[in-house]
Structures are given as structure tokens and as C-alpha cells.
A and B are shown apart, each in its own frame.
Chain A
Amino acid sequence: MAEWYQVLMAALVGAGVPEWIATAIALLVGVTAIGLVAPLIALILVWLLRKVISRIQDRIGPNRVGRFGLLQTIADIVKLLSKEGINPSRADFMAYNLAPILSVFGVLLLFAVVPVTRGLIGVDINVGVLYIVALGSIGIMAALMAGWGSNNKYALLSGFRVVAQLLSYEIPLVLSMLAVVLYAGTMRFGELAEQQGNFLGLGWYVFLMPGAALIFFVCALAESEQTPFDLLEAESELIAGFHIEYSGMRFAMFFLAQFLGGFVFAWVGAAMFLGGWQGPGVDLPGIGGFLAAGYMMLKTFAIYLLMIWVRGTFPRLRVDQMMSFCWKILVPLTVGLISWQMVVQVLDLPTPVIAVLVLVGNLLVMGIGLYAVGRAIRQEGFRTKRAFTPDSLIGTMQPVAE
């Protein structure tokens, strides 16, 4: 159990509160904090996304409400809340109304295990990494229910894609996280951060396992339904995907879940690969704790900004490209990576040798992966050219000679 909990419990029990009431209060404080802070973070995320994307597209972005448009999101929320919630007459009542709640619920649960600083983790459970992966399935169920319950073809098609995409990308995601777990020998987020504290708090796993980190980032993009993997709501094909029939508050909940989902994956990535709260000076008395929390947030927002950058830069993949990228490139690579790491770690070698061998394996995986992607892009280029340039059509469209 995390330290904040023990401190609070000790204070309450010391003040003469019976133990079970103290437990209840402590748990309530934790739950309320997560439930309040997460939506507030989403306010910043939405503003950040719109500002950065605007800059990438050579626009200014929101700039009317408040300084730098900072209050734009609040205005939008007021608008969304005051909108009419329309119930499609043929929609399935239960599934339709439960889906948005479930999607936010699934994401908020993830915030319970991510670390802020040493001793400030919602619950530092011993299977933290696995917990993150397992609860991703709630999001899948929510999207499925929304897709089915809306009674709309586009929503249903999107529901099918949800399962195909999220279940497929879960495999390389789990395996890339397993690389870190194998090396660290723990699934506890607190300990993962502690183990990356060498070299002045810069012994991050991203330097040791760049391949696993890259694969994690790609899979996190896919799992949190971000561009280039946002096929669930591909506007040009599916109009808006599974939330097409939702309006007002219920739409806002899907929106919230999507933003927080991306953010929580950025957070997990920062905790696993970028050393969590570690950084120069976190062991100083007094300011060390604040410094650590600052590092944690800084790293998380850095990864989130990278996600936004990708979102503003890359076009959306086609659904078959997305699936073959997962099954033909990512899965074999991660399986190879894990097998290599297992062999290296089972051999009785000194630690630096293991580290170097793991690094070599990761670099190899990155090289093969980038080569495979490059080849696929080249082939795709040839194919599109053959199919669509005008001169490739010469000879094919002649009237048949008699």
C-alpha cells in the first residue's frame, strides 16, 4: 500500500477515529482525488491538443475565451452540458446509456495505479502493469455496447473495428511491457521507478530498451485510438464511429475517456521507460518530493505532446494496413525481443554484459522493424502508382478489339 495512505491513516487513528472509519475516509479521499483531478487534467489536454494542432496546421487556434484561449474548453463544456440529450427511438436503452459511463469508468480506474512521486500512488499493487492491460478491456466492452446499442450501421461497423484493433494491439503492448517487467523483476510501478534511479536518476529503461519503448509507444497510440490508428471513428468512412448517435453529455463522456486514455498511456510510458519520478535531485530533503512530482508530470506531458505531434503529422492508416502492421511486424518483433531477453537473462552473466546484450537485441529489433515498415511503404507506393496514375491506365481502357 502506498505511503500517503499510511500517513493519513496514522493521523486519523491518532486523532481518535476508529480504525474502520479511518480506512473508509482514507479510501474516499483517494477516490475523490482521482475522480476530481482526472477531468481537470482533461481540460488542459483538450486545450493543449487544439493549440498544438493549430500551430502544426499554421493556424492560431482558440484565442477568444480567456488569455490564449485557456477558457475555451470550459465554454465548450458548458455548451455540451446544455445540449439536448437525444435518445434514438430504436436504440437499446441499457447498452446505449451504460456505454459512456463504462468508458469513463474504465479509464478512471487506470489512474489508481500510476505513480506521482515516491509514496504517492493511488494503490501500489503488486501486479500494477498487468492491471493497466487488463482494465483496457472495459473500454473495448464500452465501445462494443455503444456500437451495438445505437442501432446504427456505422456505429456497429466501428464496434467491430474496436475489437479487431484493440485486441490485436494488446498483444505487442503486453509483450513490450513484459520486456521491462522481465528486466526489472517486478510489476509494481513504485519499484519500477526506484530501479531506474541509477546515474543521477537518469538510468531510464528507454536507453536500455529503445526497441521496446518504441513498440510500446506505437501500441499505446493504437490502444488509445489516436491518429494514425483512429480507425474507430474514421470520419471519412464511418462518419464518427461508435459515438455517432450520442449527443450532449454522453458524447462528452466518450470524449473525456478518449483524452484521458491517451494521457494515462503517456503516464504509464513515462513511468516504465522514462524513469517515472526519477531525475537529478529527487533525493534532496524538502524540495525533492516536489521536484519528483514535477519530473513525472513533465515526462508525461512530453510523451503526450509527442502523441499530438504524431496526430498532426501522419495520415490515417487503412484498416488492412493497420492489421497487417500489428500481426506481421509488431507481434513477431516483440516475440523475438522477449525470447532474446529471456535467453540473455537466464544465462549466468554479469549485469553489464546482460545490459549490453539487451540493448543489442533492442537495436536489432528497431532496425528490422524500421526496415520492414520502409519496405511496406515502398511497395504501397508502387501499388498506388500503378493503380492511379493516368499513364498506368493507358492501354487498359481501350475498347475491346473485335
Chain B
Amino acid sequence: MPELPVEIPIPTPHQAVFIMVAVATGVASLLVVTNRNLFYSALCLVGALFGVAGVYVLLEAEFLAITQVLVYVGAIATLITFAIMLTRGIMFGVTSPNNRHMFAVMAMALLVFLLVAGVVDRVPWAVAEDLTLSGDGKSMIVDLGWEFVTTYALPLELIGLLLLIALVGAVMLARDDE
């Protein structure tokens, strides 16, 4: 009897946890787009974002995980929920996740997916030796801070400018015309 060409690997506990977290994240993300009630979608989004934070923890990027929770769950998801709560029609009604643009959007989503997958797969990502630190992680945070105010000062400022422009734009849109 021929043996199976591929051995089925038994996951270590770490990998098993990773798989569970990843599956949970995927399911939550699916629920975000398939749910008929927008409020539930928002709650599932929170679940998905927590799942991503869990993946970061398992990849030993605690700082990134905590920042993910702080920014995405704490601020962005809460604001999304808040916006949904303020729009009464959406909040209590049942909406369909499909509309007449469904197929066009599907095609676009597929293209974007292929693009991102291609970028992740083909680009030889440079890994700088001195930035992938292990150890207690304290020096990592210190380095991160230094990099932000020295090497990456300009991108950081640009992101700040972008956020400011978005803020001013939001105020302009929301303002009553007098």
C-alpha cells in the first residue's frame, strides 16, 4: 500500500491556538459582510479586529497588538458603532448586504485580492537585522520611537497632515450652510 506523499503535520499547541484565532478572525470578517443588521456587522468587526490583535500576540508583536486594540477597537470601531446608532433607519431596520453593484464590486475585490497577494508573495521583503529584535522587547519599543522621529519623521508628519485634512473635510461636510 503506497504511503501518502504528504505527511499530515500535527500542530504544536502554539500552532493550534494560532489556527483557532485565525479561523475565528476569518469567520468574524465574513459575518461583517454577510450580516443583515448593520449593528451586528459592527460588533463582528470588533470581533475580527480583536482576532487580528490575537494573531499579532501570537507573532510576538505585543506592542502592535495593543496598538491595534487601542486604535481600531477603542476608537475606530466605537465611532463606526456610534455613527450606526445615530442613523435610526439603518440601526433598527434589516438591510440587504447585496445591491445591483454586487458583481462589479466582487470583480474589483478579486482584483484587489490578487494584487495584494501578488505584492505579498513576489516582493522580496527586506528584513533589516537590527530591527528584528528579540529579548525583553523594551529596546524594541525604544527603537520604534526613535525610528519614528528620525528616519521616518517625514512619513509620520504626512500621515498627521492627512488626518488633519480629513478632520477639516469632515467638519466642512457636516457644517450647516448659512
What chain A residues lie within 8 Å of B13 (beta carbons)?
A: 20
Q: How far apart are the CA atoms of A52 and B78 in the complex, in Å?
A: 36
Majority DSSP secondary structure for residues of A touching B: helix
Cβ of A221 within 8 Å of any chain B Cβ, yes or no, is no
Taken residue by residue from 101 to 129, chain A's Cβ proximity to chain B (1 for < 8 Å, 0 otherwise) reads as 00000000000000000000000011100
Q: How far apart are the CA atoms of A188 and B63 in the complex, in Å?
A: 12
Using A148-B39, A160-B82 as known contacts, say yes or no to A141 and B67 having CB atoms under 8 A apart.
Answer: no
Query: In the assembled complex, how far is the CB of residue B21 from the closest CB belonging to chain A, in whole angstroms?
Result: 16
Enumerate B73-106 residues with CB–CB distance to A below 8 Å: 73-75, 77-79, 81-82, 85-86, 91
Using A134-B69, A137-B74, A187-B141 as known contacts, say yes or no to A125 and B62 having CB atoms under 8 A apart.
Answer: yes
Contact between chains at B85 and A156 (CB < 8 Å)? yes
Q: How far apart are the CA atoms of A95 and B70 in the complex, in Å?
A: 22
Which of B39, B78, B91 meets A163, CB within 8 Å? Answer: B78
Contact between chains at A140 and B85 (CB < 8 Å)? no
Q: How far apart are the CA atoms of A144 and B46 in the complex, in Å?
A: 13
What chain A residues lie within 8 Å of B75 (beta carbons)?
A: 137, 167
Query: In the assembled complex, how far is the CB of residue A69 from the closest CB belonging to chain B, in whole angstroms?
Result: 39
- Number of residues of chain B lying within 8 A (CB) of chain A: 27
Cβ of B24 within 8 Å of any chain A Cβ, yes or no, is no
Contact between chains at B138 and A186 (CB < 8 Å)? yes
Cβ of A185 within 8 Å of any chain B Cβ, yes or no, is yes
- Number of residues of chain A lying within 8 A (CB) of chain B: 31
Using A126-B141, A159-B85 as known contacts, say yes or no to A144 and B66 having CB atoms under 8 A apart.
Answer: no
Enumerate A147-195 residues with CB–CB distance to B below 8 Å: 147-148, 156, 159-160, 163, 167, 170, 185-188
Cβ of B142 within 8 Å of any chain A Cβ, yes or no, is yes
Using A126-B63, A167-B78 as known contacts, say yes or no to A144 and B85 having CB atoms under 8 A apart.
Answer: yes
B13, B40, B62, B70 pick with most chain A CB within 10 angstroms: B70
Q: How far apart are the CA atoms of A134 and B73 in the complex, in Å?
A: 8
Using A126-B63, A141-B81, A148-B91 as known contacts, say yes or no to A134 and B74 having CB atoms under 8 A apart.
Answer: yes
Enumerate B105-138 residues with CB–CB distance to A below 8 Å: 136-138
Using A141-B81, A160-B82, A186-B138 as known contacts, say yes or no to A170 and B74 having CB atoms under 8 A apart.
Answer: yes
Contact between chains at A140 and B78 (CB < 8 Å)? yes
Contact between chains at B141 and A136 (CB < 8 Å)? no
Cβ of B22 within 8 Å of any chain A Cβ, yes or no, is no
Shortest Cβ distance from A125 into B: residue: B62
Which of A127, A145, A156 meets B62, CB within 8 Å? Answer: A127
Q: How far apart are the CA atoms of A389 and B142 in the complex, in Å?
A: 59
Taken residue by residue from 72 to 115, chain A's Cβ proximity to chain B (1 for < 8 Å, 0 otherwise) reads as 00000000000000000000101100000000000000000000
Taken residue by residue from 38 to 49, chain B's Cβ proximity to chain A (1 for < 8 Å, 0 otherwise) reads as 011001001000
Cβ of A249 within 8 Å of any chain B Cβ, yes or no, is no
Using A136-B74, A140-B78, A188-B138 as known contacts, say yes or no to A130 and B67 having CB atoms under 8 A apart.
Answer: yes
Contact between chains at A140 and B74 (CB < 8 Å)? yes
Taken residue by residue from 367 to 395, chain A's Cβ proximity to chain B (1 for < 8 Å, 0 otherwise) reads as 00000000000000000000000000000
Shortest Cβ distance from A186 into B: residue: B138
| Residues in A lying within 8 Å of B, measured CB to CB | 20, 92, 94-95, 125-127, 130-131, 133-138, 140-141, 144-145, 147-148, 156, 159-160, 163, 167, 170, 185-188
8 pairs of residues in contact across A and B, judged by CB atoms under 8 Å:
A126-B141, A127-B63, A134-B70, A134-B74, A141-B77, A144-B81, A159-B85, A160-B86
Q: Apart from A134-B66, A134-B70, what 19 extra A-B contacts exist at CB < 8 Å?
A: A94-B43, A127-B66, A127-B141, A131-B66, A134-B74, A137-B73, A137-B75, A140-B78, A141-B73, A144-B78, A144-B81, A148-B39, A156-B85, A159-B85, A160-B85, A163-B78, A163-B82, A167-B74, A167-B78
